[in-house]
Every structure is written in structure tokens, then in C-alpha cells.
Amino acid sequence: MSTVNYTNPNQDRTVQIFDEFYKFQLSVDANLYDVVLSYFKSVFDDETAAKNFALNLFRISENTGTPVMEILESVRGQSQIELSSTFAYFLNNLRSNSTLLGVSATATPAFYAARNVVV
């Protein structure tokens, strides 16, 4: 007799996360991805924003070596603006200093120093 709770061991129970722009690909447990995505769907009204935050959470976890659930617990209860600034902090550690996120005041060099830069 079959039951709803029976798991098929022949099925792959992972989710492929990929970002074409940054050439990032990761295979994660489907249950873990569902937990993370459902949390971000409860915070954001836009499903695309929730998926992007879930992807970035797994990216941060992969690069820092911190478990995903530990990072999720540290950001739980934050508002959308607080989440954006927290993720900008984590993602800026992974990026080049010339492409920082959340920096609104661009640093403009002195005129004479700027003209000596060879492109």
C-alpha cells in the first residue's frame, strides 16, 4: 500500500541554484531551500526579491563556510531595509572594492590624480 509519506530514493532531492551573471552554481537540499525561500516570501511581497535573497543567502553560506540556518537565524526578524543592509555587508566582502553595494557617495579623486590614471 502506498502512502503520501513514502519517499522515492530514486528521485533527486536537491535544488540547483544558479546565477548566470556571476557564474555561480550550487546544489542544495530541497528542504533547506524551501525553508529559506518561504521565510523570504514572508518578508517580501515580490517573489523575485525573495528568490534573489534566498540565492544570496546560499552564496554567502558557501563563501563564508557558515551553515545556512545559522545565517537565517541571525537575520530573522529584520525588516526589508535591515535585510538589505545586512546582505550588502556580507556581499561586499565577496566583491571587488570598486563595485560595492549600498554605497551612495562615490569617491571622486582629485583632478590631477584622476588624469594620471591609465585606462
Distance in angstroms (rounded) separating the CA atoms of residues 89 and 74: 14
Q: Determine, yes or no, domain membership for 92.
A: yes
Q: Which domain holds residue 105?
A: 14-114
Mean pLDDT computed over 65-87: 89
Residue 37 pLDDT > 80? yes
Which pLDDT value is given to residue 112? 66
Residue 9 falls inside a structural domain: no
Number of domains the chain is built from:
1
The C-alpha atoms of residue 4 and residue 58 are separated, in whole angstroms, by 29
Q: pLDDT band at residue 56, thresholds of 50, 70 and 90?
A: confident
Residue pLDDT, tens place only, 84-113: 888 888 887 776 666 666 666 666 666 666
Four-residue CA torsion sign, 119, 89, 69, 20: negative
